[in-house]
Structure 1
Amino acid sequence: MTHWFTADLHFGDEGILRYFGRPFRSITEMNNAIIDAIATRLKDGDDLWVLGDVADTSSGGEELARTLIERLPGRKHLIRGNHDDAAITSLPWTSHHDLTEITDGSERFVLCHYPLLSWNGARQGAIQLFGHVHDRWPGSDRQVNVGVDLWDFAPANAADIVIRAAGQKSLNIADQIEGVG
């Protein structure tokens, strides 16, 4: 069993193509590319953690979102984002949270749609995973943006994330504010 992480899928969201310059000719092409990238990596026993902003559910998009989510293999977990309404949270998720912590092997992750200033275990090596900012900020040595815009529209596993985190600049924010109060 492998944990996979992604964020900011925005299935069915026409505006996202223009606003973030995603390299697809149509929303259908984008939806299928993301689904295919996930499906080629995940096995049925794997866990997919979607850190928010799953789909645009306006104008009948609820059924599209359901159809696309059901096409994905594995157990699907939602970390709610700012675009995830009741139609999204009612999809067949194994779990859904605003923030949660998981362990994958020796790695500890704190999952939230938003980048945080501090998080549980930051000074003990826990890595915070987030989305929300698309390609605007990749993170730091202890925070990794798992949004599709920075991962070639595919999910990342723990090993990929640890490598990326090690190559990013240290901000030391958690060191500066942990233990205060």
Structure 2
Amino acid sequence: MTIWYTADTHFGHENIIRFCKRPFVSVSQMDAALLENMWKVIGPEDQLWILGDFAFGSKAKDGAYVERIFTQLPGSERHLVIGNHDLDPTLELPWDSVSHIAELRDGPQNQLNTLCHYPMITWNHARKGALQFFGHVHNNWQGTRNSVNVGVDVWNFSPVTCGDIVQRAGQLPENKHWKNVEQRPTDN
């Protein structure tokens, strides 16, 4: 079983194509591409974690529409970390879990990573190798060495694994405020 992460899919949201310069001519093309990209990598026993903003816009208010998209998601488990655009009927879908924040063991060191729709400057186990995965900022920022954007706009419209995230984290700069908020007692 593999755990996959993504954020900011914005299924049904016509304006996100223009706002984020997504390379799609219509919302139906975008929705189809996002689902196809998920099906290319997510296996039947895998987990999918969507870190907010599953659907948005007028279509997201249509229960039949969001249910139709939801039933096309691959994997054996589908989890939602609530974003600022996740409202009813998205919250009423049969997710395996729904939360505002989650901690999940995954990755090369089986570290306890923190999942939140919003980027954070610190989190539980931050000094013990745990990463923070987020969305919300779309293509405005990839993150830092320890807090990484998992949104579709910076991952070629595909979900990613913790291994992918760890690799990208190693190429990103350290947050310039990291030493201010995560001082070790011996650093004082």
Higher deviation after alignment, 165-174 or 78-87: 165-174
For residue 135 of structure 1, give the secondary structure of its aligned residue in structure 2: helix
Corresponding position: 1:162 with 2:166: yes
Corresponding position: 1:142 with 2:146: yes
For residue 140 of structure 1, give the secondary structure of its aligned residue in structure 2: coil
Q: 1:115 aligns with which of 94, 119, 122?
A: 119
Give the percent of matched residue pairs that are identical in Structure 1 and Structure 2: 42
For residue 160 of structure 1, give the secondary structure of its aligned residue in structure 2: helix
* Length-normalised TM-score, structure 2: 0.91
Corresponding position: 1:28 with 2:32: no
* Structure 2 CA distance for aligned equivalents of residues 161 and 124 of structure 1: 17
Letter in structure 1 aligned against 2:55: A
* Structure 1 CA distance for aligned equivalents of residues 112 and 121 of structure 2: 17
Matched length: 180
* Structure 1 CA distance for aligned equivalents of residues 153 and 120 of structure 2: 19
* Structure 2 CA distance for aligned equivalents of residues 174 and 119 of structure 1: 11
For residue 4 of structure 1, give the secondary structure of its aligned residue in structure 2: strand
* Length-normalised TM-score, structure 1: 0.94
Q: For residues 1-181 of structure 1, what are the structure 2 equivalents within 5 Å?
A: 1-56=1-56, 58=58, 60-74=61-75, 75-105=77-107, 106=109, 107-178=111-182
Letter in structure 2 aligned against 1:73: P
Contact 1:8 1:147 in 2 (8 A): yes
TM superposition shift of 1:57: 5.6
Q: CA RMSD in A?
A: 1.5
Contact 1:35 1:72 in 2 (8 A): yes
For residue 115 of structure 2, give the secondary structure of its aligned residue in structure 1: strand
* Structure 2 CA distance for aligned equivalents of residues 43 and 114 of structure 1: 27
TM superposition shift of 1:173: 2.9
* Structure 1 CA distance for aligned equivalents of residues 17 and 57 of structure 2: 16
Contact 2:37 2:158 in 1 (8 A): yes
* Structure 2 CA distance for aligned equivalents of residues 114 and 103 of structure 1: 19
* Structure 2 CA distance for aligned equivalents of residues 10 and 131 of structure 1: 11
Runs of 4+ in 1 over 6 A off after TM superposition: none
Letter in structure 2 aligned against 1:72: L
